[in-house]
Amino acid sequence: MSWLKRERSGIKTSPRADRPDVPEGLWTKCDGCGEALFQTVLEENLWTCPHCDHHFRVPARTYLGYLVDEGSFQERHANLVAADPLEFRDAKMRYPDRLAAAQKDTGEKDAAICGFATIGGVPVSCALMNFFFMGGSMGSVVGEKVARAIEDAIAERRAVVIVSATGGARMQEGILSLMQMAKTSVLLARLREHHLPFVSILTDPSTAGVLASYASLGDVIVAEPRALVGFAGARVIRQTIGEDLPAGFQRAEFVLAKGFVDRITHRRQMHVEVGGLLGYFWHSTHGFAPNGATSPHGYDPNAPRSQAPA
């Protein structure tokens, strides 16, 4: 029988980071180098390619496990859900139906989670975006969770850490989505007045309205290798200015060279990197001392720092 006419029964799809129900031992193709990789290998490497260091997109809760101290996360404001004040309907479905589909696919209520944790022993208020929920778009719930994470940090004298993974503002909420840019930016100004640090982590992608607001306002901005970082799309920019653009102009390495981000850190080193940065802030002259503590547990400012792969 011709191979092209064979039945497809029993053939399984390759695994995805947002599909934990897919059986282990299957393989997926690396978008960076094209290598076929076993899921177990990817999981051991925190969903980064062992051949080319391509960083796969992962859900917020998966990234949370890589970033914060084990067992330290306490989720807050988990029950916030989006409304539909504009009664928006796109070409395929109503906004409530699209929300319901995303909630079913991801098991999350919206595109961000937030709460308290420690990183390197330093108490933080953190928010992490989930690209697998409607492209990590920022609607009223995402903006409100980020805002409350900042307010909680001020109330408890904690650092703020936000992980961005987003295509930008959520069109289904119109101006209500765009308002979140101003709201979160104003609160970060208040955070600075209280001499509390904010570390912004940019993963692939970090774009549009989120990048134009809180994602670009960190005291330190850390990006993952080759993360897409930009406001408008390359085609829109090219059509607007009528010029060809430099190769890779919206990748983390390019914007690092232009001074937009402070450092690029491999995912395997992100926990150590952010913990060290927060430790330095703790011992700075800004008076950052959460809960009256005198030193973060486990942080040694004189300890050697491991380096991410070149």
Convert the pLDDT of each residue in 139-176 to its tens digit. 999 999 999 999 999 999 999 999 999 999 999 999 99
In total, the chain counts a number of residues equal to: 310
- What are the CA-CA distances from residue 161 to residues 22, 133, 196, 219 (Å)? 31, 20, 11, 10
Q: Please check the confidence at residue 246 and state whether its pLDDT lies above 90.
A: no
d(CA 185, CA 203): 20
Please give the pLDDT value at position 164. 97
Q: Name the percent of the chain lying above pLDDT 90.
A: 68
Q: Residue ranges per domain, the chain? A: 16-56, 58-292
Cβ burial of 291 (10 Å; 0-12, 13-18, 19+) is exposed
Predicted confidence at residue 245, as pLDDT, reads 81
Instruction: Considering only residues 130 and 295, tell me which one the structure prediction assigns the higher pLDDT.
Output: 130
Averaged pLDDT, 197-217: 96
Strand partners, 263: 222
pLDDT score recorded for residue 293: 53
**Cα–Cα distance between 117 and 123 in angstroms, integer?**
6
Digit-coded pLDDT (tens) for 36-94: 888 888 999 999 999 999 999 999 999 999 999 999 999 999 999 999 989 999 888 99
Question: What is the mean predicted confidence (pLDDT) over 6-11?
Answer: 43
User: Do 167 and 137 meet the contact criterion of CB atoms below 8 Å apart?
Assistant: yes
Cα–Cα dist 304/10, whole Å: 51
- Give residue 4's pLDDT band: very low, low, confident or very high (50, 70, 90): very low
Q: Is the pLDDT of residue 203 over 90?
A: yes
At 305, is the pLDDT very low, low, confident or very high (cuts 50, 70, 90)?
very low
Q: Is the pLDDT of residue 297 over 80?
A: no
pLDDT band at 289 (very low <50, low <70, confident <90, very high): low
Across the range 279-296, mean pLDDT stands at 63
Contacts 24+ apart (CB under 8 A), 239-248: none
Check: CB of residue 296 under 8 Å from CB of residue 121: yes
Three-state SS sequence of the chain: CCHHHCCCCCCCCCCCCCCCCCCCCCEEECCCCCCEEEHHHHHHCCCECCCCCCECCCCHHHHHHHHCCCCCCEEECCCCCCCCCCCCECCCCEHHHHHHHHHHHHCCCCCEEEEEEEECCEEEEEEEECCCCHHHCECHHHHHHHHHHHHHHHHHCCEEEEEEEECCECHHHHHHHHHHHHHHHHHHHHHHHCCCCEEEEEEEEEEHHHHCCHHHCCCEEEECCCCEEECCCHHHHHHHHCCCCCCCCCEHHHHHHCCCCCEECCHHHHHHHHHHHHHHHHCCCCCCCHHHCCCCCCCCCCCCCCCCCC
Q: Above 60 in pLDDT, residue 260?
A: yes
Q: What's the pLDDT band for 296 if we cut at 50, 70, 90? A: low
Quick check: 305 and 276 in contact, CB under 8 A? Answer: yes
**CATH top-level class of 58-292:** alpha beta
Strands 229-230 and 220-223: unpaired
Mean pLDDT of the chain: 85
